[in-house]
């Protein structure tokens, strides 16, 4: 099964993990790593390298991070570039995490990345847009 390492600033990763556990239950091949204000880049690099070594080395790994260009993203990028079969995704939200955790069985890291990006685009919406879609789909045409 594809391994997932979730990392972000503050308590982002542990908070997302807690929400995921509440909704989906325990997930194998999943590690969450927080990057609190008191941490360092060196410590985070060590924690993420350790997480990589704890996952099944026969499978691809995807790093899910909070912010493009942030320290968790940069550290994940460095580790991802060391071996084929690793991808880094920034801008992770709960919908993306839940949907992709359920869909990852049998996926390569590349296919996971492509599906996650679609999921992220689909998941970002607004009440006004959703209500507009609902109105459009429930209109009944008048006529013969």
- Among 89, 79, 82, which residue's Cα sits nearest to residue 113? 89
8 Å CB contact between 8 and 72: yes
Strand, helix or coil for residue 14: helix
The pTM score is 0.87
Q: Has residue 143 been placed in a domain? A: no
Domain extent, residue 94, equals: 3-138
Q: Has residue 28 been placed in a domain? A: yes
What CATH number does the domain containing 28 carry? 3.40.50.510
- Among 24, 25, 27, 33, which residue's Cα sits nearest to residue 1? 27
Residue 140 has pLDDT above 70, yes or no: no
Q: Has residue 144 been placed in a domain? A: no
Domain count, the chain: 1
Better pLDDT: 144 or 71: 71
| Helix (DSSP H) and strand (DSSP E) numbers for the chain | 6, 4
Per residue in 20-75, pLDDT (tens digit) is 999 999 999 999 999 999 999 999 999 999 999 999 788 899 999 999 999 999 99
Per residue in 91-109, pLDDT (tens digit) is 999 999 999 999 999 999 9
What size, in residues, is the chain? 144
Q: Has residue 128 been placed in a domain? A: yes
Cα–Cα distance, 140 to 60 (Å, whole number): 49
pLDDT of residue 56: 78
8 Å CB contact between 3 and 61: yes
Cα–Cα distance, 8 to 73 (Å, whole number): 8
Cα–Cα distance, 56 to 135 (Å, whole number): 47
Confidence of residue 121 (pLDDT cuts 50, 70, 90): confident
């Amino acid at each position: 099964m594809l391994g997932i390492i979730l990392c972000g600033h503050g308590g982002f990763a542990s908070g997302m993990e807690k929400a995921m556990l509440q909704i989906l239950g325990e997930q194998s091949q999943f590690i969450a790593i927080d990057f609190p204000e008191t941490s360092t880049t060196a410590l985070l690099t060590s924690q993420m390298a350790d997480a990589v070594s704890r996952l099944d080395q026969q499978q691809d790994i995807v790093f899910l991070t909070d912010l493009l260009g942030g320290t968790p993203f940069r550290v994940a990028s460095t580790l991802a570039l060391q071996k084929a079969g690793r991808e880094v995704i920034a801008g992770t939200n709960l919908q993306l995490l839940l949907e992709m955790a359920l869909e990852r069985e049998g996926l390569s890291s590349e296919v996971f990345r492509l599906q996650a990006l679609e999921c992220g685009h689909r998941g970002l919406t607004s009440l006004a847009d959703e209500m507009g879609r609902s109105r459009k789909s429930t209109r009944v045409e008048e006529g013969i």
